[in-house]
Amino acid sequence: MTVPSASMLHMRTGGIRLIICAALTALAGGFATPAHAQRPAGPGPRVAHRAAPAAPAVVARAAYLYDATTGTIQLSKEATRRMPVASLTKVMTAYVVLREAGLNDIVTINAADVRHAATNGATGASLRAGERLTVRDLLYGVMLPSGADASHALARVYGPGQAGFVAKMNAAGRSLGLTGTRYTNPDGLPKPGGGHSTARDQARLAEIALRDPALLTIASTRRHTMPVSKTHRAHTWTNTNKLIGKTPGALGLKTGYTRAAGYCLSFAADRDGHRLIGVILGDAKSDRRFRTANRLLNWAGDQISGTQDPVDDL
């Protein structure tokens, strides 16, 4: 038997290694990457993904904003907290009147209506005893200048009487599911006390109230003028809601203030086919509630449209 020399073993081992390497190379051929693709790629185009901006800050004690078209809640802060809502109460007053009266019905103002606003230090529509106005015009007097004289006259006639009217307000609230709401008068004044609602309830009420074409028209009006006639003096009422005519798509709805309630605002706007409804309760500054509402509407509108434009102040 011939014993292989060391040189022969080395040649055989080397050959085996060459065969193995060749086999592995052939096996990997199907997975080979072209040489040009193996080179590090240069910097490609970048796609910028901006995070959706956070909701604007709300300083007021409570706030609520939702998309009534989709039911999406956009913002909620202490939204179920029960608190006084001042003249936002008059939204329910208008809602009840529109179910009890005809818009062309005539109401005669009496001394008690005028005295009610004057003695309580409430805002009025400058009505005088003996004037006769339509329900439609009195609703302008309720919603634009927030006239407690106008709301008192309507409640007196369509209660009939204040107590009867308040009972109808609370019955309407129950039927609408406003579980955190209780009314004690038709205007939101502190007397007799005990009246309260929530930001969420008031937003729900606003959404329903604005379905009425007459109330939608009234609440969206910046100024209503009545020339003098045989039945009443001339009146010009300007909407206390500063969003009207300034914020795109703004529809109203109502302002309010008492010391206990702070500055309140029920607001709405149509944006890109969506109706946004909001409520701010208990702000310490009058103008801030409007700036906050404007920012919230613009922010929510941007979420709907997919844009992220700068939020403009009023």
- What are the residue numbers of the active site? 87, 90, 146
Contact 260, 20 (CB under 8 A): no
Tell how far CA 19 is from the center of its chain: 78
The single-letter DSSP state of residue 51 is: P
Contact 55, 296 (CB under 8 A): yes
Contact 84, 194 (CB under 8 A): no
Q: What is the DSSP string of 205-262?
A: HHHHHTTSHHHHHHHT-SEEEE---SSS--EEEE-S-TTTTTSTTEEEEEEEEETTTE
Please work out, in degrees rounded to the nearest 5, the angle formed at the alpha carbon of residue 37 by the alpha carbons of 36 and 42: 95
Phi, psi of 106 (to 5 degrees): -105, 130
- Report the C-alpha dihedral over residues 105, 177, 261, 213, rounded to 10 degrees: -40
| R_g (Cα) of the chain, nearest Å | 35
Phi, psi of 209 (to 5 degrees): -60, -40
Closest Cα to residue 65, out of 285, 309, 241, 303?
A: 303
Contact 291, 58 (CB under 8 A): no
**In DSSP terms, which residues pair with 98 in a beta bridge?**
none
